[in-house]
Structure 1
Amino acid sequence: MGVFSAPKIDFGKSSELKKGSEKWNLLRDEVFKALEEYGCFEALLDGEIPKVKLYEKLKEVFNFNLEKIFGNTQSVLVGYDRYKPKAPLQERLVIPNVLNDGVIENFSKNLWPDGESEFSDLVLTYSKKLSEFDDLVKRMVFEKLGLEKYLDEHKKSGDYLLAMIKYRAPKAGETNVGIPPHTDNIISTILSQHDQDGLQILDKNGQWLDVQFSTPNSYVFLVSDCLKAFTNGRLNCLIHRVIIGNEERYSVGFPLIPKEGYIIKVPEELVDENHPLLYKPFDGSKLLPFYMAEGRRGVSATLEDFCGVSTNNPNLS
């Protein structure tokens, strides 16, 4: 098994970056090149993000009887689920709209009815810092593509979600696939992990390569389907999966989920003789239900199946 050499980009002291400066331009170009070619990069962020402490707290949280507290939902965007047929090693606890007022505190009360502030503080700080980083990446991408006038509208297109994930080690004879191969049917996501590697990407030659996080302050930024469509395919979107070794694995996903009714449409600036229109306008919130419905029929659907210009899908808007 090979190792994926994801571009490694240092965002240390990013708060001091000034738009238009030489450092900004160099970092912007590095970010865009990575997303254009690979669809992802490894970001080295500063130590202000309480990643280590959050993971320590997650181990405590996953010792609760979460199914009794939250139930076992069939939704992938809210609540708690575990050991589903396509992800039999996975437990997942999701906080939707994580940065909306009162959401984290209300969620925490389910776990600690008598009150507990550490978890709420860690989740809030972690989420705020990653949302600021996500905003920085989008500003750089939109500037590079000449789409700055669309940035404010894009910021209103989705809500952040925090997905806290635990994988148990597979038993003898069980699959070691934590999450099967897929692209993310959202806008973008930022992944972190604790202790155990496991994230893999499928390269152009059809080989699975390990993604290795080089430092404790590493995160992986991934382009997802909706951002690929919005950029008319200028940004890549990788097929990836998770493989579990002999020990339990913890990870945290911080995706941007498209809001219902928000229409994703390729800007006219990205369509010309060399770049024909690839995707029809679509409601981003309908992409995930489409994939799930196709999956129940045994079909592995793609973004092109949903909104490619050659498709005739009645559910685009």
Structure 2
Amino acid sequence: MASLLQPKLPVINMDDLKPGTESWISTCNKVTRALEEYGCFMAVYESVSKELKKDFFDSLETLFKLPVETKMKNTSDKPFHGYMGPIPIRPLYQSMGIDQATSFDDVEHFANLMWPSGNQHFSKTIHSYASLVSELENMVRRMVFQSYVVEKHYESFNDSMTYHLKVMKYSAAKPDETNLGAATHTDKSFITILGQNQVNGLEVLIGDDKWATVEFHPLSFVVLATDPFMAWSNGRVKSPRHRVIMNGQEDRYSAVLFSYKKGIIQIPEELVDQEHPSKFKPFDHYKFLDFFSKDEIYLDEKAIKLFCGV
């Protein structure tokens, strides 16, 4: 008889961890197992306080209330990095992007586009949030490198990482609208760290046929592996399919910190042997993003297999 229990993501406490300690090593194993089995997990991470989280999502509400012509000033030469407004097949969704969000100067530049007279509170809030969340991304990545015994590659890899903060609004669906906020897809960054306000909507495919509706714990984030991360791991890490379904009458605000590697991603030689032949050729991360942007037919991991699969 099939289980009627709702599948859930693993929950891992990521607070107060120091490299080399027993708790660090234990958490390394939990993180890597979760990314291999589920491709994601719920990270309890209280470094982002309740006060900062509230200020951050209040700031997003203020941001998305700006006129469309103002939001359209958010442009980028990188695919998917600028403003994206509602379209007929995606009427509930709009997003804006802040490149290099861990740099205060870059966040302030974005704020000055939106508010020509400046908005220091917005700049400080967004920068503080992005900086703390980037520390979580860095910790997750380091743990996986350590678990796979490829830590000698970590520093050079880390030096080439960049961070992009995408902030999103999903409007509550009207009676005559679809409640699909975002279609089923896998991510194209290296690691995705997702936070939201109190309105749920994220669903992750567990296995081949079970959708898990993600119930966020207080002060938590969902960590998602991606297609490039899967390729780097030679297929060990799973890139989970996920979507957003809007139910209820409240708007959902969420933010994802995407990490990208400048230059070439390749499988560490330690992860290739007779039992694990290479599944992916070395590839340029941003060239892959450009390849995907030109033809989004394959929203899932098929895109990277077409791009650099062996």
Give TM-score scaled by structure 1 length.
0.88
Question: Displacement, 1:220?
Answer: 0.5
Equivalent position amino acid for 1:264 in 2: I
Please give the alpha-carbon distance, in whole angstroms, between the structure 2 residues aligned to 1:48 and 1:99: 14
2:176 to 173, 176, 179: 173
- Cα pair distance change 1:195/1:254, threshold 3 Å: same
1:223 to 209, 222, 225: 225
Contact kept in structure 2, 1:99 and 1:124, CA below 8 Å: yes
Is 190-199 or 239-248 further displaced after alignment?
Answer: 239-248
Equivalent position amino acid for 2:38 in 1: Y
SS in 2 for 1:81: coil
- Cα pair distance change 1:144/1:108, threshold 3 Å: same
Question: Displacement, 1:68?
Answer: 3.1
Cross-structure match for 2:40: 40
Equivalent position amino acid for 1:178 in 2: G
Contact kept in structure 2, 1:3 and 1:211, CA below 8 Å: no
For residues 7-156 of structure 1, what are the structure 2 equivalents within 5 Å?
7-14=10-17, 17=18, 19-49=19-49, 50-71=52-73, 76-100=79-103, 102-156=105-159
- Cα pair distance change 1:167/1:157, threshold 3 Å: same
Is 107-116 or 130-139 further displaced after alignment?
Answer: 107-116
Question: Displacement, 1:87?
Answer: 2.7
Cross-structure match for 1:288: 289
Contact kept in structure 2, 1:203 and 1:209, CA below 8 Å: yes
- Cα pair distance change 1:299/1:28, threshold 3 Å: closer
Please give the alpha-carbon distance, in whole angstroms, between the structure 2 residues aligned to 1:128 and 1:205: 35
Contact kept in structure 1, 2:79 and 2:293, CA below 8 Å: no
SS in 1 for 2:6: strand
- Cα pair distance change 1:48/1:243, threshold 3 Å: closer
Alignment gaps of 5+ in structure 1? 310-317
SS in 2 for 1:220: strand
Alignment gaps of 5+ in structure 2? none
Cα offsets for 1:246-283 (capped at 9, x unmatched): 32111011111233xx1111111101122111111111
Cross-structure match for 1:307: 308
Is 225-234 or 152-161 further displaced after alignment?
Answer: 152-161
The reply to whether residue 157 of structure 1 matches residue 151 of structure 2 is: no
1:192 to 176, 190, 195: 195
Cross-structure match for 1:314: none
Cross-structure match for 1:244: 246
Cα offsets for 1:2-35 (capped at 9, x unmatched): 6331110112223xx2x22211111111111111
Q: What's the Cα RMSD here?
A: 2.0
Equivalent position amino acid for 2:271 in 1: L
Contact kept in structure 2, 1:98 and 1:160, CA below 8 Å: yes
Contact kept in structure 2, 1:166 and 1:250, CA below 8 Å: yes
Cα offsets for 1:209-237 (capped at 9, x unmatched): 2111122x010111111111111011111
Question: Displacement, 1:66?
Answer: 3.9
Aligned residues, how many?
Answer: 301
Please give the alpha-carbon distance, in whole angstroms, between the structure 1 residues aligned to 2:295 and 2:127: 35
Cross-structure match for 2:205: 202
Is 68-77 or 300-309 further displaced after alignment?
Answer: 68-77
Question: Displacement, 1:100?
Answer: 3.4
SS in 2 for 1:234: coil
Equivalent position amino acid for 1:273 in 2: Q
2:7 to 4, 8, 28: 4
Question: Displacement, 1:180?
Answer: 0.5
Please give the alpha-carbon distance, in whole angstroms, between the structure 1 residues aligned to 2:275 and 2:89: 40
Please give the alpha-carbon distance, in whole angstroms, between the structure 1 residues aligned to 2:5 and 2:289: 31
Q: Percent identity, aligned pairs only?
A: 35
Is 31-40 or 110-119 further displaced after alignment?
Answer: 110-119
The reply to whether residue 276 of structure 1 matches residue 277 of structure 2 is: yes
Please give the alpha-carbon distance, in whole angstroms, between the structure 2 residues aligned to 1:289 and 1:136: 28
Contact kept in structure 1, 2:47 and 2:132, CA below 8 Å: no
- Cα pair distance change 1:162/1:154, threshold 3 Å: same
SS in 2 for 1:255: strand
Cross-structure match for 2:236: 234
Contact kept in structure 1, 2:234 and 2:278, CA below 8 Å: yes
- Cα pair distance change 1:86/1:97, threshold 3 Å: farther
SS in 1 for 2:84: strand
